[in-house]
Amino acid sequence: MRGVLSNLIEVNHSKIKETNRKKIIKLLLERTEITKLDISRILGISITTVSTNITEFKSEGIVEDVRSLESTGGRKAIAIRLKEDCKFSIGIALTPNHIKIALVNIKKEIIENIRISHNNDGIENLIRIINEKIDFMMKKYNLDSEKLLGIGLSLPGTVDFKEGIIKYSYLLGVKDFNLKEKFQYLNVPIYVDNEANLSAYYEFLSRKDVLKNLLYISITDGLGLGIIINGKIYRGDNNSSGEFGHIKVVIDGKKCKCGAKGCLEAYASMNSLIESYNEEVSENILDIDEFEKLYMQNDIKTKKVLDDYLRILAVGISNLIMILDPNTIVIGGDINNLLNDKMEILKKNIYKDNLFTDESSCNISIADFKESYMLGAAMMPIEEFLEIK
């Protein structure tokens, strides 16, 4: 009995210590510089405990002295700050045409941003490219498993988040593939998730002080939905929630890339916008950048195709509002720039003939960063490191 009690006391002491460490680090992230006494006062932690933690942080290279402050009679207080290069995270996004990698420091600043085109010629080849770039970053910034908090991977498709398994990604041509195990040699936490989930997560983090729920509509090569409920990503019982693009809108309609017919994605994804334009003008533009360039040049056909597209997208969003009754929707992805000056038209279409809700009860906005999924992936290890449990 005495041994069990001793173990419980030890576990409790360890948990209290870890909680204090995280509270201090979170406060240091909020302040440019601060004294140990101020940390003690703000957090309600004894000055002895604060001093012990700061000494440990210094030995670990997490904090550093900044300057001596003016004395008020006793010893001069030393201002300290968090070192920006003490901890890092890597966010990786796999898309059908690109690999996007961001190195982010603990202050959530992007240190390096890499974008690589690929031919989508197999997941093993993509992993090889990613490993080469990770190795490059690790050497360039002198990273090891102590400095690197973890790696987040974003991809289109259904994912078993706990196991890090890609259940199905038709856009990448992958099924039942354990992506997580391919990076465990790094000896850091590995997170694998759907790109819409990670986009929703990133957008929520900047709003978590003012809301608990959020929907993120991801418009990329596909059409996805990230759902945040009570501050947590909702994944569903089978890790398949948010397949917004595969609700059926036309019986025996256009064929979707998933293989079915009449999916909303076949009418309201980025690819469908490009395909509609090519059918309209018998051209063969390849990506959204070309469409956007033509649109900015006042090309009449792009304007017509975009207007038609917005009407279909609005119907999908209107149905979503009917089902989930959200108060916050963020729209993001590769067509952000095209939507910026079309939001009022989109909102008008969304609330047309809607007798149950209106614009005053649901805020709809465009994401500030169109690659939120990559940053959401990078935030996962950082937020886990800072989370007080």
pTM above 0.85, yes or no: yes
> Is there a contact between 355 and 321 (Cβ–Cβ < 8 Å)?
no
Query: Is 90 exceeded by the pLDDT of residue 358?
Result: no
Amino acid identity at 322: M
CB-based contacts of 112, cutoff 8 Å, min separation 6: 101, 102, 103, 137, 140, 141
pLDDT, residue 281, reads 87
Using CA atoms, how far apart are residues 260 and 148, in angstroms rounded to an integer?
A: 42
Give me the residues paired with residue 151 across strands: 90, 190
The answer to whether residues 183 and 190 touch, using CB atoms and an 8 Å cutoff, is: yes
- Tens of pLDDT, residue by residue over 101-123, are 999 999 999 999 999 999 999 99
Identify whether the C-beta of residue 23 lies closer than 8 Å to the C-beta of residue 389: no
What values do phi and psi take at 84, rounded to 5?
A: -65, -30
Residue 15 pLDDT exceeds 90: no
CA distances, 178 to each of 114, 142, 168, 352 (Å): 24, 28, 11, 44
**In contact, 216 and 205? CB cutoff 8 Å:** no
Assess contact for 378 and 91: CB atoms under 8 A: yes
Q: What is the pLDDT of residues 28-44, one digit of tens each?
A: 999 888 999 999 999 99
Positions of E strands within 95-164:
98-105, 110-117, 148-155, 158-160
**Per-chain mean pLDDT for the chain:** 90
Query: Per the structure block, which two tokens stand in for 288?
Result: 């959204």
CA distance 326 to 329: 7
For residue 80, the cross-strand partners are 34, 65
* pLDDT value, residue 7: 54
**CB-count burial class (<10 Å; 0-12, 13-18, 19+) for 156:** buried
At 70, is the pLDDT very low, low, confident or very high (cuts 50, 70, 90)?
Answer: low
Per-residue model confidence as pLDDT tens digits over 359-374: 888 899 999 888 899 9
Q: Which domains does the chain have, with CATH numbers?
A: 2-82 (1.10.10.10), 88-200+373-386 (3.30.420.40), 210-370 (3.30.420.40)
Alpha helices in the chain (DSSP H): 2-30, 36-43, 47-59, 123-140, 195-205, 265-268, 270-281, 288-296, 300-324, 336-339, 343-350, 372-386
Residue 71 DSSP label: P
